[in-house]
Amino acid sequence: MGIIYILWLRQLKRHLRSRGRVFASLGQPLLYLCAFGFGFGGVYRRAGQGDYLQFLAPGVIGMGIMFSAVFGGIELIWDKQFGFIKETLVAPVPRWLIMLGRTAGGATVALLQGLIVILMCLALGFRPQTLAQLPLLALFMALVAIFFSALGTVIACIVADFQAFPLVMNFLVLPLFFLSGALFPLGQVPAALALIARLNPLAYGIDGLRGALTGAWHFSSVADLAVLGVLTLALLLLASHLFDQIEA
């Protein structure tokens, strides 16, 4: 529908116009790739696990998508503070449609970021095992983008203002990332960590990305798709419900 398109377009324009933001958000994946990738590379190989960059790259790609999507969703707080939200709330359009447009836009921006991170990884020497899994890769990227875009929206609906940002970062986003198997294999961690990972939606997303790119699956493609798919749907419904309750 034209409404989803126009709100999607708005998110895209806003993102592409703030060049500073585009570059800043790419700094973090680059940092992780270089610092961890080259830093731990030697140790990892000596432990018999092979090339750390190959292992790490999908994790960092997932990170790029996740961070971009969450903060895109949280942009809603910005709209609440600066008033644009009122324009959408008083319009003769059902709220879930507004939310879908925003989420689609935020997810697309996150996917674009993910693509750039993939290019960065390739430039640093990462090589996917096969190109046959490209559709599967695209699917996992999309699911991660949509899931975390919806999560960002949920957070923005619950949280009143920007003060909560550091809390959200430190107690939600970073823990999700660190305990997802993005940085280390989940096969050899203590039971407690393995359990947390099994409850972490991002773990399934990262596993999906890693599996599609390098053929190394911790769970399985079916499990990853199922869990991530169902959770994404559930989160979209929750976000829609909360968005419905927003006060102009």
Partner 1 sequence: MTRRFGSIVAVDDVSFEVARGEIFAFLGPNGAGKTTTIRMLTTLLQPSSGQIELDGLDIVREPTAARRRFGIVFQDSSLDFELTARENLVIHAVLYHVPAAERAPRIERLLRLFDLWERRDDIVKRFSGGMRRRLEIARCLLHTPAVIFLDEPTLGLDPQTRNQLWTHVRTLNEQEQVTVFLTTHYMDEAERVAGRLAVIDHGRIVAQGTPQELKEQTGSDSLEQAFLKLTGTQIRDDDGGAGKDRMRQFVRGGAAR
Binding site for partner 1 (CB under 8 A): 2-3, 5-7, 10, 13-14, 17-18, 82-95, 244-245, 247-248
Tell the smallest beta-carbon distance from residue 196 to partner 1 (Å).
32
Tell the smallest beta-carbon distance from residue 16 to partner 1 (Å).
10
Nearer Cβ to partner 1 (15/218): 15
Nearer Cβ to partner 1 (2/48): 2
Quote the CA–CA distance of 79 and 155 in Å, as a whole number: 14
Tell the smallest beta-carbon distance from residue 104 to partner 1 (Å).
15
Tell the smallest beta-carbon distance from residue 27 to partner 1 (Å).
22
DSSP state of 247: -
Give the residue from 121, 167, 100, 152 showing the smallest Cα distance to 26.
121
Quote the CA–CA distance of 110 and 115 in Å, as a whole number: 9
Nearer Cβ to partner 1 (3/194): 3
The Cα-based distances of 221 to 45, 178, 206 in angstroms read 26, 21, 11
Q: What is the DSSP string of 83-132?
A: SHHHHHHSSSS-HHHHHHHHHHHHHHHHHHHHHHHHHHHHHTT---S-ST
Nearer Cβ to partner 1 (76/209): 76
